[in-house]
A = this chain, B = another copy of it.
Amino acid sequence: MENELIRYFRQRVPGHRLLEVGLGDDAAVLRLAGRQYVLTVDMLSDHVDFELAEVDPRRVGRKLLAVNLSDIAAMAARPVAAVVALLLPRSGGMELAKALYEGLLPLAEKYDLAIAGGDTNSWDGPLAASVTILGETTERGPLTRSGARPGDQILVTGWFGGSILGKHLDFQPRVDEALLLHQRYDLHAGIDCSDGLALDLARLAEQSGCGAAVDLAAVPVAEDAHRLARQLADGSTPLDHALADGEDFELILAVPPDQARRILADQPLGVPISRIGQFVEKPGLWEQTTNGQLRPLSAVGWEHKFHG
């Protein structure tokens, strides 16, 4: 459905003179009074993005904000202000709302984010919540999905796979990491990995009009990807999970070769940065084989993990 809707939106939703980047990136870029701002919203709901019955609601509240901060990070922008809309189940809604905020507020404070307002309602359904963040770009401008060029290296932060075991709630949005990299090095494009490494990398390549070739041996596989493969015992490998699981919320970056070498040598972040391949002329997602061939790689991603 997502793809058909995106096509509909692209045809039907008009551009606007203030809109420098519109639908289809991690956040919109608006030009207001000569400055660039980014604006993004995410809607999360019980049974889709978390199972409220199984986790501390403060972790859910933290996630509501963190997924949004990850979109701001993907644009290499600074978060400024957020508004929070909650649709609460009638029973226990009040205590739930407080717990969500108790999880959300420390993260807001960490990023000096103003909680500017909210809308709180109750209904007979499960929890649904949206967070909208307004951010501002740095003097380097926004990092978009469309700037990758053939020859650019694919760099990623952290590890991938198995986030369902906990990281999907407790991940660190890479806000500071993106700002630091964008300031010190020349980056061409970026995306945050929310729907799976393979799928989000394919999106970045597609929006840049090129392809991406992955060196599968170089993909940093999370310990939880190994653990999940063992738990499931369904024939899936840790690498499958690293490629297809969603919600790692790590950065995927397109970086010209000289800059990539510097970043890999400097390792300027608290989290490791790995090279997992390069962008190529040929559109699509590819596995780079050891003999230099390109073999098609499936861009399968995560959808509604909690629905089995």
Q: Are B123 and A39 closer than 8 Å at their CB atoms? A: no
Q: Are A1 and B130 closer than 8 Å at their CB atoms? A: no
Q: A4-B94, A5-B94, A101-B12 are in contact. Are A85 and B121 (CB under 8 A)?
A: no
Which stretch, A14-22, A147-155, A202-210, touches the partner chain B? Answer: A14-22
Q: Which residues of B contact A124 (CB under 8 A)?
A: 47
Q: A163 near B: Cβ within 8 Å?
A: no
Interface size on A, residues (CB 8 A): 63
Least distance between A19 CB and chain B CB atoms (Å): 5
For A112, give the chain B residue with the smallest CB separation: B16
Q: Are A45 and B114 closer than 8 Å at their CB atoms? A: no
Q: Are B30 and A116 closer than 8 Å at their CB atoms? A: yes
CA A176 to CA B52, docked complex, whole Å: 43
Q: A23 near B: Cβ within 8 Å?
A: yes
Q: Are B98 and A28 closer than 8 Å at their CB atoms? A: no
Q: A242 near B: Cβ within 8 Å?
A: no
For A18, give the chain B residue with the smallest CB separation: B114
Q: Are B39 and A117 closer than 8 Å at their CB atoms? A: yes
Q: A259 near B: Cβ within 8 Å?
A: no
CA A125 to CA B307, docked complex, whole Å: 13
Q: A115 near B: Cβ within 8 Å?
A: yes
Q: Are B47 and A123 closer than 8 Å at their CB atoms? A: yes
Q: Are A118 and B18 closer than 8 Å at their CB atoms? A: no
CA A45 to CA B42, docked complex, whole Å: 16
CA A195 to CA B80, docked complex, whole Å: 30
Q: Which residues of B contact A136 (CB under 8 A)?
A: 32
Q: A132 near B: Cβ within 8 Å?
A: yes
Q: Which residues of B contact A101 (CB under 8 A)?
A: 8-9, 12-13
Q: Are A116 and B22 closer than 8 Å at their CB atoms? A: yes
Q: Which residues of B contact A112 (CB under 8 A)?
A: 16
Q: Are B43 and A80 closer than 8 Å at their CB atoms? A: no
Q: Are A19 and B97 closer than 8 Å at their CB atoms? A: no
Q: Are B85 and A27 closer than 8 Å at their CB atoms? A: no
For chain A, residues 1 to 56, give those with C-beta under 8 angstroms from any C-beta of chain B: 1-2, 4-5, 8-9, 12-14, 16, 18-19, 22-23, 27-28, 30, 32-33, 35, 37, 39-43, 45, 47-48
Q: Are B117 and A41 closer than 8 Å at their CB atoms? A: yes
CA A275 to CA B266, docked complex, whole Å: 69
Least distance between A37 CB and chain B CB atoms (Å): 8
Q: A299 near B: Cβ within 8 Å?
A: no
Q: Which residues of B contact A97 (CB under 8 A)?
A: 5, 8
Q: 16 A–B contact pairs at CB < 8 A? A: A2-B120, A5-B98, A12-B98, A12-B101, A13-B115, A16-B114, A18-B114, A19-B114, A22-B117, A28-B83, A28-B117, A32-B136, A39-B116, A85-B132, A130-B130, A130-B132
Interface contacts beyond A32-B80, A39-B134: sample of 6 additional A-B pairs, CB < 8 Å, sorted by A: A14-B105, A30-B81, A40-B83, A42-B85, A43-B121, A45-B121
